[in-house]
Amino acid sequence: MVVYKRKLLTIITESILEQALKRDFEKMGIRGFTIVDARGKGRRGERLGNWDSSTNIRIEIVCTEEVGAMVAKHLYDNYYHHSGMISYLSDVDVLRPDKFTVEKSSS
């Protein structure tokens, strides 16, 4: 079985940012991502997820290292300084690399 190296960019942030992030991803040509509700505890306290204003989401994007770095830089430049957000890159092996490509922007 042949596997291909990719990165998994995981973003955990406030659910209020979901629509803005989805727009950002579309502008960057990101073709696919997964978003799920998340709960946990960190420096900003515990997120129980039982109030809309206190919920978190986890976003996962399988991509190349270059795309992961581009998205991570965008998040840092535009969200990190005023939002509760963390992100990290992990190595993953995929079977269908064509499923994890970025569309070239037409603008």
For the domain that residue 25 is a member of, what is the CATH number? 3.30.70.120
Residue 56 lies in a domain: yes
* Residue 49: pLDDT over 60: no
Number of domains in the chain: 1
Per-residue pLDDT at 45: 62
Q: How many CB atoms lie within 10 A of CB 81?
A: 8
Confidence class for position 107, pLDDT limits 50, 70, 90:
very low
Q: Which token pair is 57?
A: 């989401």
Task: Residue 31: give the domain boundaries.
Answer: 4-97
* Residue 86: pLDDT over 80: yes
Kindly report the pTM of this predicted structure. 0.83
Find, among 54, 5, 63, 4, the residue nearest to 34 by Cα: 63
Residue 102 lies in a domain: no
Strand (E) positions, 1-102? 4-14, 34-38, 40-42, 45-47, 56-63, 85-94
